[in-house]
């Protein structure tokens, strides 16, 4: 038996009025895991992320963080949004220092942290730029850095790299893995790209189209570290991509009973 | 608002286009000149068209002379400073109240339900219509004029602030909460700056209306002030001074609005580049 999980979902359901978005979802996340959520549009990925973040509460079931129910948003479960959602009136450094200012951290210490984080996200020397002076990739780096500086136990990312070009996207993915290696914080990553999910994660969850249940889960057994980007051509990588693709295409749990059973034990 | 696009650098513009640019400016200047000439002619000929007469309208040359005279006298300073201080007080209070109320109403449904019904009823009443009641309500005409200025500026500022606050990207507020910001920090550090471009627009519109209201109030209950000066010129039959007053009013209103927009653009540098990026 593994040690107590960082996050535990037990039969978590969520409804908007009459429509059930999540139906008795159960899973656990351990420390330092990177888990991707895949699934068709509208299947409830963002909703699940919102529950973990604490923006909304489950309609039924238990969602436990460190053994306690999640009741409100907090920096230990911070969110990275698509296109950054940066504060346009603050510089990169001030954006990154935001969570520290909220906690009343002294200026000198804030400075130290933001210098360190700027370097970690590859923005050394760009701390004085405002978001409107940055490229899309830089903005996203600030978005990640702003959350990293809050020292979250779980980083929740909702299609964070969906709005940048392919080259920038791959660079950001590799950088995210490097950041993960440095911080060891758990990451829940929502994406529509199977390749991105397989590349980043050690587990991939596939949500079903209807009913908001988990279709399947896949273990990604690729050698780490992956941030040199080379193993995108690894046969195991390609095979896993194909398996997930076929699962999502079939959209039926029956096709992946094996993987499902495997994941839920 | 559509801003005139800057012309590309001189070299890349074909000669014909450059000539057309110069030509257009000449045309505009000529149009202005013709209007001034027509005014001069109509006034000098004491043109009477039946429904409108130019018999008592001063010609532009006399207006210019009167303007120069006023510039050289000490009266101008008194009039301008009393108008400015009234606008400063009334508009300043309106800016403060409008932004605070707007933040409250935009963020809290309860505040909206409590504050908005009376404000909605007062809103369609033009500030100028308050003048008689204001004269009765306030002990000094100075206070009643400040009140009129306040009322004129309040609603544009309030409504723009509410609009700006309601349109703050919810992901920004969610980010701030998730990063550990409390209620007050979200309001100060996120909502206020995110709504700033809209607030600045409201402040600029409010500046225009507060001048308009002040001038009207001064004509009725003032001593000093350029509205008063304009009306006094009428009662004293100094007709050229009327037009001087009109021009001054226009200049001061336009000047203070432009100053505000300039300051606003400087305070919200991310705003003007926003659209191009998305
Ligand atoms: N505020 C809301 N009120 C009512 N229904 C909502 C609301 N937000 C989302 N939904 C519904 O919940 C379902 C799941 O939405 P969610 O945003 O979680 O999907 P998603 O998997 O993130 O989709 P996408 O991949 O397109 O982002 C959708 O059917 C959506 O219509
Ligand atoms: Mg979504």
Tokens 């590859």, residue?
A122
Which structural domains are found in chain A, ordered by start?
Answer: 1-76+187-265 (3.40.50.300)
Cα B81 off chain centre by: 17
Q: What residues have CB less than 8 Å from A133, skipping those under 6 apart?
A: none
Q: Is the CB of A43 under 6 A from ligand 1?
A: yes
Question: Is B53 contained in some domain?
Answer: no
pLDDT tens digit sequence for A146-157: 999 999 999 999
CB B63 within 8 A of CB B206: no
Give me the mean pLDDT over the A124-150 stretch. 92
Determine which residue's CA is closest to atom 10 belonging to ligand 1.
Answer: A16
pLDDT at residue B19 is higher than 90:
no
Give me the mean pLDDT over the A138-151 stretch. 93
Residue B168 in contact with partner chain A when CB distance is under 8 A: no
CB B225 within 8 A of CB B214: yes
Q: Is the CB of A212 under 6 A from ligand 1?
A: no
Q: DSSP readout, B35-104?
A: HHHHHHHHHHTT-B-SSSB-TTPPPHHHHHHHHHHHHHSSHHHHHHHHHHHHHHHHHHHHHHHHHHHHHH
* pLDDT recorded at residue A256: 42
* pLDDT recorded at residue A210: 66
Give me the mean pLDDT over the B83-94 stretch. 94
Determine which residue's CA is closest to atom 19 belonging to ligand 1.
Answer: A42
Give me the mean pLDDT over the B126-155 stretch. 92
pLDDT tens digit sequence for A178-216: 999 988 999 999 999 999 999 999 889 988 876 566 667
- Report the SS3 class of residue B246: helix
Question: Given an 8 Å threshold on Cβ–Cβ distance, is A79 in contact with B174?
Answer: yes
Strand arrangement, sheet containing A60-65: A19-29, A7-16, A60-65, A68-69
pLDDT tens digit sequence for A46-89: 999 999 999 999 999 999 999 899 999 999 999 999 877 999 99
Give me the mean pLDDT over the B171-196 stretch. 94
Question: Is B6 contained in some domain?
Answer: no
Q: Omega before A262 cis (within 30°)? A: no
pLDDT at residue B121 is higher than 50:
yes
* pLDDT recorded at residue A211: 57
Tokens 């979200």, residue?
B186
* Mean of all residue pLDDT scores within chain A: 86
Q: pTM for this one?
A: 0.82
CATH number at residue B234: 1.10.3720.10
Question: Given an 8 Å threshold on Cβ–Cβ distance, is A75 in contact with B180?
Answer: yes
Give the ligand whose atoms come closest to the C-alpha of residue A193. 1
ipTM of the complex: 0.85
Question: Is B2 contained in some domain?
Answer: no
* pLDDT recorded at residue A217: 75
Question: Is B44 contained in some domain?
Answer: no
Question: Is B224 contained in some domain?
Answer: yes
Question: Is B14 contained in some domain?
Answer: no
* pLDDT recorded at residue B229: 92
pLDDT at residue B49 is higher than 90:
no
pLDDT at residue B1 is higher than 50:
no
Question: Is B201 contained in some domain?
Answer: yes
What's the gap in Å between B252 CA and the centre of ligand 1? 53
* pLDDT recorded at residue B244: 94
Residue numbers in B near A87 (CB within 8 A): 172, 175, 189-190, 193-194
pLDDT at residue B35 is higher than 80:
yes
Residue A74 in contact with partner chain B when CB distance is under 8 A: yes
Range of the domain at B81: 67-271
pLDDT at residue B175 is higher than 70:
yes
Residue numbers in B near A102 (CB within 8 A): 179-182, 185
∠ CA A169-A173-A174, nearest 5°, is 120
Q: Is the CB of A89 under 6 A from ligand 1?
A: no
pLDDT at residue B167 is higher than 90:
yes
CA B180 to chain A, closest CA, distance in angstroms equals: 5
pLDDT at residue A106 is higher than 50:
yes
Question: Given an 8 Å threshold on Cβ–Cβ distance, is A78 in contact with B178?
Answer: yes
pLDDT at residue B80 is higher than 80:
yes
pLDDT at residue B10 is higher than 80:
no
Cα torsion A63, A69, A71, A77 to 10°: value is: -70
Tokens 């998730």, residue?
B178
Give me the mean pLDDT over the B256-270 stretch. 88
What's the gap in Å between A39 CA and the centre of ligand 2? 10
* pLDDT recorded at residue A3: 62
Domain count, chain B: 1
* pLDDT recorded at residue B50: 87
Give me the mean pLDDT over the B46-70 stretch. 91
Question: Is B43 contained in some domain?
Answer: no
Give me the mean pLDDT over the A113-124 stretch. 92
Size of interface A-B (CB pairs under 8 A): 71
CA A251 to chain B, closest CA, distance in angstroms equals: 31
Q: Is the CB of A265 under 6 A from ligand 1?
A: no
CA B264 to chain A, closest CA, distance in angstroms equals: 13
The pLDDT-based confidence of B272 (bands split at 50, 70, 90) is low
CA A53 to chain B, closest CA, distance in angstroms equals: 7
Task: Compare B112 and B12 and report the one with higher pLDDT.
Answer: B112
Task: Compare B7 and A262 and report the one with higher pLDDT.
Answer: B7
Give me the mean pLDDT over the B267-276 stretch. 67
* Mean of all residue pLDDT scores within chain B: 88
Phi, psi of A2 (to 5 degrees): -75, 165
Determine which residue's CA is closest to atom 22 belonging to ligand 1.
Answer: A46
């Amino acid at each position: 038996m593994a040690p107590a999980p960082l996050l535990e979902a037990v039969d978590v359901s969520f409804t908007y009025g009459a429509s059930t978005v999540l139906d008795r979802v159960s899973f656990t996340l351990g420390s330092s895991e990177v888990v991707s959520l895949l699934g068709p549009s509208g299947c409830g990925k963002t909703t699940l992320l919102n529950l973990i973040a604490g923006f909304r509460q489950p309609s039924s079931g238990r969602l436990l963080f460190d053994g306690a129910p999640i009741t409100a948003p907090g920096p230990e479960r911070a969110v990275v949004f698509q296109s950054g959602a940066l504060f346009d009136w603050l510089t990169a450094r001030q954006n990154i220092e935001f969570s520290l200012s909220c906690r009343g951290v002294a200026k000198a210490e804030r400075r130290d942290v933001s210098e360190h984080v700027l370097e970690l996200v590859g923005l050394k020397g760009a701390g004085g730029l405002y978001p409107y002076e940055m490229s899309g990739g830089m903005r996203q780096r600030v978005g990640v850095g702003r959350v990293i500086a809050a020292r979250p136990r779980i980083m929740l990312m909702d299609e964070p790299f969906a709005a940048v070009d392919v080259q920038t996207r791959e660079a950001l993915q590799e950088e995210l893995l490097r950041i993960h290696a440095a911080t060891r914080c758990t990451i829940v990553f929502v994406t529509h790209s199977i390749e991105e999910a397989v590349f980043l994660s050690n587990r991939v969850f596939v949500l079903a189209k209807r009913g908001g249940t988990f279709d399947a889960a896949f273990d990604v057994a690729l050698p780490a570290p992956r941030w040199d980007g080379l193993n995108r051509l690894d046969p195991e990588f390609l095979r896993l991509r194909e398996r997930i693709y076929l699962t999502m295409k079939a959209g039926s749990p029956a096709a992946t009973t094996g993987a499902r059973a495997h994941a839920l034990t | 608002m559509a801003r005139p696009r800057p012309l590309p650098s001189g070299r890349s513009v074909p000669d014909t286009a450059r000539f057309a640019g110069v030509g257009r400016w000449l045309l505009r200047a000529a149009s202005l000149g013709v209007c001034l000439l027509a005014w001069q002619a109509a006034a000098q000929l004491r043109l009477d068209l039946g429904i409108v007469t130019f018999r008592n309208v001063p010609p532009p040359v006399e207006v210019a002379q009167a303007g120069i005279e006023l510039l050289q006298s000490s009266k101008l300073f008194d009039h301008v400073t009393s108008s400015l201080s009234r606008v400063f007080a009334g508009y300043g209070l309106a800016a403060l109240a409008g932004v605070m109320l707007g933040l409250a109403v935009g963020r809290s449904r309860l505040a909206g339900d409590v504050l908005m019904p009376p404000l909605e009823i007062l809103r369609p009443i033009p500030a100028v219509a308050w003048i008689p009641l204001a004269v009765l309500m306030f002990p000094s005409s100075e206070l009643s004029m400040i009140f009129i200025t306040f009322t004129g500026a309040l609603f544009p500022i309030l409504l723009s602030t509410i609009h700006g606050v309601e349109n703050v990207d919810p992901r920004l507020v969610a980010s701030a909460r998730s990063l550990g910001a409390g209620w007050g920090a979200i309001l100060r550090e996120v909502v206020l700056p995110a709504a700033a471009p809209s607030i600045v627009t409201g402040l600029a519109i409010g500046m225009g209306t507060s001048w308009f209201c002040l001038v009207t109030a001064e004509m009725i209950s003032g001593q000093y002030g350029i509205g008063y000066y304009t009306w006094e010129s009428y009662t004293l039959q100094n007709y050229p001074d009327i037009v001087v007053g009109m021009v001054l009013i226009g200049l001061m209103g336009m000047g203070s609005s432009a100053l505000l927009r300039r300051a606003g653009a400087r305070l919200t540098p991310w705003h003007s580049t926003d659209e191009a990026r998305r």
